[in-house]
Amino acid sequence: MALGLWSFLQLFLLCEVAASLSFFHHRYDDLVRALYNVQNQCPYITRVYSIGRSVQGRHLYVIEFSDNPGIHELLEPEFKYVGNMHGNEVLGRELLIQLAEFLCEEYRNNNERVTRLIQTTRIHILPSMNPDGYEVAADQGPEGNGYLTGRYNYRQVDLNRNFPDLNTVMYYNEKYGGPNHHLPLPDNWMAQVEPETQAMIQWLKNYNFVLSANLHGGAVVANYPYDKSKEIRMRGFTRSTYSSTPDDALFKELAKTYSYAHGWMHTGYNCDDFFYEGITNGASWYSLYKGMQDFNYLHTNCFEITLELSCDKFPREEELEQEWNGNREALLTYIDKVHQGIKGMITDENGNGIANAVISISEIAHDVTSGIGGDYFRLLLPGTYEVTASAEGYYFKTVSATVGPADATLVHFQLKQQKATIESRFLNQNNKNYIRKVVPRAANKRRSS
Partner 1 sequence: MSLEMFSVLLTDKACGFHSDLTLKMVSNIPWSVLTFAWWLTVHSWFAWSCPDSCDCFRRVKIFCTSSAIKEVPSNISVTVTELVFLETHIGTIGNTTFMGKDRLKKLVFISNQIKSIDVGALHWFPKLTDLEITANPLSEIHPGTFDNLPELLKLTVTFNYIEELPCELLQKTQNLQILILQGNNISALCSEMFSSIKNLVELSLDSNGIMHLPVDLFKPLQKLRVLKLSNNKLSKLPPGIFDCLKELSELYLNGNGLTTIPGHTFEKLTSLKKLMLMSNSIKMLSDGIFSALVNLTILRLDWNRLEYLPFGIFNETTSLHILSINGNRLQAIPEGIFSRLHHVKKLDLCSNLLEKLQNSTFQGLHSLTHLHLDNNNLTFIENNVFKDLNDLKMLTLHHNNLTTILDGTFDPLFNVASLVLHSNPWLCDCSFMYLLKWIKENSDFTQVSEMQCEKPQHLKEKALSLLRKQDLSCPTNTRIHVPDIPSTNDQRVMKNAPLSPCYLTTNGDLHLTCKVNVCKSMRIHVSLQRESNTTTFVRDFGNFQPHCTDVIFNITIN
Binding site for partner 1 (CB under 8 A): 15, 18-19, 21, 28-29, 32-33, 36-37, 40-41, 56-59, 109-110, 135, 404-406
What gap in Å lies between CA 371 and CA 75, rounded to an integer?
10
Closer Cβ to partner 1, 33 or 233, answer by number: 33
What gap in Å lies between CA 86 and CA 82, rounded to an integer?
11
Closer Cβ to partner 1, 58 or 252, answer by number: 58
CB of 279 to partner 1, least distance (A): 18
Closer Cβ to partner 1, 43 or 184, answer by number: 43
Closer Cβ to partner 1, 41 or 238, answer by number: 41
CB of 112 to partner 1, least distance (A): 8
CB of 27 to partner 1, least distance (A): 9
CB of 57 to partner 1, least distance (A): 4
Helix (H, G, I), strand (E, B) or coil at 148: coil
Closer Cβ to partner 1, 261 or 288, answer by number: 261
Q: Is 317 left (phi over 0), alpha (psi -120 to 50) or beta?
A: alpha
Helix %, strand %, coil % for the chain, to 5?
A: 35, 20, 40
| 308 classed as catalytic | yes
- Residue 271 one-letter amino acid: C
* Number of Cβ within a 10 Å radius of residue 446: 12
For the chain, the distance separating the N- and C-terminal CA atoms, rounded to the nearest angstrom, is: 61
* CA-closest candidate to residue 129, choices 161, 179, 104, 92: 92
Half-sphere exposure of 369 (CA within 13 A, CB side): 28
Q: Is 225 left (phi over 0), alpha (psi -120 to 50) or beta?
A: beta
CB of 83 to partner 1, least distance (A): 20
Which of 64, 308, 321, 323 is catalytic? The answer is 308
CA angle 199–205–211, rounded 5-degree value: 100
- Specify which residues 394 forms β-bridges with: 417
List residues with catalytic annotation: 308
